[in-house]
Amino acid sequence: MQSVKFSLYIAILFPLNVLMASATWGSAYLSVIMVMTYLFFVPTRIFHPNNMLFAFNGLYVVLSSTINLILDFIDWEYVLPWGQQVYWDSISNYVLFQAEFTFLVLFFSFHFFSKIQNPKHDRSFKSYVDIHPVFLRNLYILTFFLIIWFIQGTAGLSAWVNDYSFTYLTKREGYGLLNVIVIAIGNIVIFLLGLKTYFSEKKLTPILSALLLIVALSYIGGIKSRLIFLLIIFLAPYLMNIKFGLKVFVSLAILFFLFLYLGSLIRTEGFYASGSFFLEMLVGYFNVYQLHDYVVTSRDPGMFQTLYFIFTKPFELLGLAEVDANFDISVMLTKEFFPEQWEMEHGTQQWPIDTELYLNYYGFYLSWLPLIVYAWLVSWLYRAAIVQHNFLLVPIFVMEFQRIFSTMRGTLIPWETPIYIAQYLLIYFMCKFAIELKVKQSTHLDASGFDV
């Protein structure tokens, strides 16, 4: 059955590639390829890496290009002050085929590496999990103290309330370390509250405590993506045990766009309130492939052109690099293509992982190798944390699961890698101290029939 399905998939894939190469709106066929691939091999667990991979491509390719196509077909007159900025009908074929190549390599790597190698030995923790109450209470108080410190140290409560967007974009410089600590400890507390809610008979108190902290952490973290992530990590114990399907996918998609809309209203102080403004934002905001096209059409692919950026920050601290030296591809390219944006507020546009692969691994020629290694590492963590219900690793995996999205619009090895490793070590050992597993390990075949 699997071989027949795969043969049918390949038979459909080939003509779609021919059309993508020859049609004016090749992006439409790229969207069909991505949606078809996902539907042919839909994962059965919410936290399967392919769900986040498709979430990224669903937004940055399928949604953006499809709305662009529809608006072009009906001769839509753009109403945003800056007009239309993304033109999927003119993006080069190289960009379209590289986006497809990256997606397919990662998708099928995740698909095969994430399979349970021996489902008869899938371990699950079925007994009660206890959270150290005093430790959790003190950690909760500490988190609020750090949030207040961050707000007062950056700009003060008045600025955060009265001019939120400007404050968030420009007033956090110099507080990066504190921000990292708040993120790490905040993630731990929210996950522990999620576990406490899942395993407690009285759920109201931990739920209200978590919601209060989620609002505070989201507010200083940019709201949109931070709010969604914190809800995911709080609900992780529940989401781990839900069988995933298209109904769940549609429900989560509706919730995502609801939070995206509300987050956009708060982040921009109501600027995207109207339906037409929000619709055009969905095209222009998800613009990474338009930006990648600027790179592809202006320079040749190369080898290790920006990989050394991961050493810029340490060298800067040692006085071996200039203060304004490039430490990230998006910083480098923002300076080149959007110099005013960098000079005014040090804000960056985000280029996709395809740009790094284009500059560091000759695009198609060698990019498959680091992509496969990356997929294997994420898949190993997925199996260890989610499949085997190892609650000490679950928050780490959920962070990496979420970071798949960031990786897809960034680099495989970002300059923050040492920070991520330090965060993960802190999370692991603090969870090990806080969580008491009253467990009887059972060896059984997963009752839900999960195999990916």
Contacts for 255 with CB less than 8 Å, ≥ 6 apart: none
- Whether residue 317 is predicted with pLDDT greater than 80 in this model: the reply is no
**Strand, coil or helix: 442:** strand
pLDDT in tens, 118-168: 554 444 445 567 889 999 999 999 999 999 999 988 888 888 888 877 777
pTM of the entire predicted model: 0.87
- Whether residue 222 is predicted with pLDDT greater than 90 in this model: the reply is no
Query: CA of 372: how far to CAs of 60, 118, 356, in Å?
Result: 22, 22, 15
Question: What integer is the mean pLDDT of 15-19?
Answer: 95
Identify whether 179 is part of a domain: no
Which of 29-33, 119-123, 161-165, 329-333 is least confident? 119-123
- Give the span between the Cα atoms of 253 and 263, in whole angstroms: 15
Identify whether 108 is part of a domain: yes
pLDDT in tens, 375-424: 999 999 999 999 888 899 999 999 999 999 999 999 999 988 988 999 99
DSSP codes of every residue in 49-87 = HHHHHHHHHIIIIIIHHHHHHHHHHTT----STT-----
Contacts for 73 with CB less than 8 Å, ≥ 6 apart: none
Identify whether 417 is part of a domain: no
Identify whether 110 is part of a domain: yes
pLDDT of residue 279: 84
Identify whether 104 is part of a domain: yes
The range of the structural domain enclosing residue 66 comes to 2-122
pLDDT of residue 446: 42
Q: Which amino acid is at 296?
A: V
pLDDT of residue 333: 94
Identify whether 355 is part of a domain: no
Identify whether 47 is part of a domain: yes
- Give the span between the Cα atoms of 374 and 368, in whole angstroms: 10
Q: How confident is the model at residue 206 (pLDDT cuts 50, 70, 90)?
A: very high
Identify whether 266 is part of a domain: no
- Whether residue 365 is predicted with pLDDT greater than 70 in this model: the reply is yes
CA pseudo-torsion sign 236, 242, 246, 250 = negative
End-to-end CA gap in the chain: 16
Tally the domains of the chain: 1
